[in-house]
Amino acid sequence: MSSEVKVPTLGESVSEATIGQWLKQPGDAVAADEAIASLETDKVAIDVTAPQAGVMGQHIVKEGDTVTVGALIATIEDGSGAAAAPKPAAATPAPSPSPAPTPTAAPAPSAPTAADDTSGGSSVLSPAVRRAVLEHGIDPSKVKGTGKDGRITKDDVLAAAQAKTAQPAPSTSAPAAAPAATGGERREERVRMTRLRQTVAKRLKSAQETAALLTTFNDVDMSAVIEARDKYKDVFQKKHGIKLGFMSFFSKASVLALKSIPSVNAQIEGDEIVYFDYVDISIAVSAPNGLVVPVVRNVDKLSFAGIEQAIADYGKRAKDGTLTMEDMKGGTFTISNGGVFGGLMSTPIINPPQSAVLGLHRIEDRPVVRDGQIVIRPMMYIALSYDHRLIDGREAVTALKTIKEAIEDPTRLLIDL
């Protein structure tokens, strides 16, 4: 008797997805609730799990196919996974002339394959890690996890793949003559865009075509924030269990600006303007499949520690590929930190239907004038891109200036100035 595997509910207003990867092939042993496929939606990857234990049956659809909620995509057949899966046969030793075979009645356990979910100190591999394991042909049981509780991260797999590539292949006979390198070879590779990348491309292009985009710039002296961070970071981490970063300062400074200039925190819907009395900030983070923007909600009510905890959690989950649709729903304003990649200056694009985005950049020592003297200060360029249909230039400049003043004098964050 077989069991049907159907596309699960994907989230509010999401009706279709793409088969990103089959994690189990026909004939593979499958445990109940084990991930057998990865679906790519417009924002996140979602695992499809087996409704029962058994053997992976037929794939109804192929990788890259678009499927809708409730669609049949595969079957799970009854049977013993160990008997049905051909993989253990690979562990059977070849006939040996040795007169005394090793006295083991039970077959030796085979090394976990790329599709297995168990590895070293980790009991479950995230979708991003599973994908990396399959792509690079890495045995997860031989990878030392550096994540929490010994979990394997995507970086661990990539490091193992690099080490594997660097190892010279063992020589068993005289090497065949390799084709002479001409030095003029030209190659092309075509890779299908992921659903996430397609969606990002469409949204950003739509933002350019729909909104009247404009960017205003300023620079910030980071001396006061750096001094405060260096002074309190150890006590902060000891008390809250999280590092004190710059994002919490900029988030709180943004709250001051958005409360002072409500239009920067507003959105256009049809012929109406929607104003929000709360601040939900989308924090742009890098994920394996591209840039994602999970939302830190009620930033105006969160403490510095609460903001840092939320950002750290989203960053880890983005890296592991475990963000959900709910994590990225909404948002009234966005902060994008290109400085972590070394960017000096940029013109960020707004995240529709939001009306503004703050761009942060790298900190570098530059000569500035203070009290008539040229001094060296740690400076950062900041940029505010905004929808000119809703936000006037005066409002945008004022909002960015408010952020600048709050960062240069963090006391303003405490007394709401």
Pick the CATH number of 212-415 from 3.30.360.10, 3.40.50.1820, 3.30.559.10, 3.30.70.270: 3.30.559.10
Model confidence at 202: pLDDT above 90 = no
**C-beta separation of 32 from 79 below 8 A:** no
392 counts as catalytic = yes
**Longest C-alpha distance within the chain, in Å?**
92
pLDDT confidence band for 9 (50 / 70 / 90) = confident
pLDDT for 66 equals 84
pLDDT confidence band for 97 (50 / 70 / 90) = very low
Cα 316 from chain centre: 8
What is the dihedral angle through the alpha carbons of 108, 113, 115, 120, rounded to the nearest 10 degrees?
80
Model confidence at 308: pLDDT above 90 = yes
Model confidence at 93: pLDDT above 70 = no
CA distance 218 to 93: 69
**What count of other Cβ atoms lies within 10 Å of the Cβ of residue 279?**
24
**C-beta separation of 273 from 390 below 8 A:** yes
Q: What are phi and psi of 324, to 5 degrees?
A: -110, 170
Residues of the chain with CATH 3.30.559.10: 212-415
**Residue among 33, 230, 234, 388 flagged as catalytic:** 388
Residues of the chain with CATH 2.40.50.100: 1-86
Residue with the bigger pLDDT between 177 and 282: it is 282
Residues of the chain with CATH 4.10.320.10: 122-165
pLDDT confidence band for 103 (50 / 70 / 90) = very low
**Residue among 78, 234, 392, 416 flagged as catalytic:** 392
CA distance 141 to 112: 6
Model confidence at 237: pLDDT above 80 = yes
Residues with Cβ within 8 Å of residue 407, at least 6 apart in sequence: 220, 221, 222, 224, 225, 249, 250, 253
Q: Provide the 8-state DSSP code for 61.
A: S
Model confidence at 49: pLDDT above 80 = yes
Q: Looking at the structure, give the CATH architecture of the domain made up of residues 122-165.
A: Irregular (4.10)
CA distance 324 to 365: 39
pLDDT for 332 equals 96
Q: Which two tokens stand for residue 304?
A: 């510095």
Q: Checking phi first, is residue 389 left (phi over 0); if not, alpha (psi -120 to 50) or beta? A: alpha
**What count of other Cβ atoms lies within 10 Å of the Cβ of residue 274?**
13
- Per DSSP, the residues of 205-262 read HHHHHHS-EEEEEEEEE-HHHHHHHHHHHHHHHHHHSS---SHHHHHHHHHHHHHHSG
What number is the average pLDDT over the span 76-96?
A: 52
Percent of the chain at pLDDT > 70 equals 78
Residue with tokens 């205003």: 216
What number is the average pLDDT over the span 265-269?
A: 95
Q: 212: burial class by Cβ within 10 Å (0-12, 13-18, 19+)?
A: exposed
CA distance 276 to 287: 29
Instruction: For residue 18, list its beta bridge partners.
Output: 40, 66
CA distance 144 to 155: 11
CA distance 392 to 396: 6
Handedness of CA 241, 130, 13, 194 (dihedral sign): positive
pLDDT confidence band for 207 (50 / 70 / 90) = confident
> Which class is 1-86 in CATH?
mainly beta
**C-beta separation of 309 from 296 below 8 A:** no
**H or E stretch at 17:** strand 16-22
pTM of the predicted model over 0.85: no
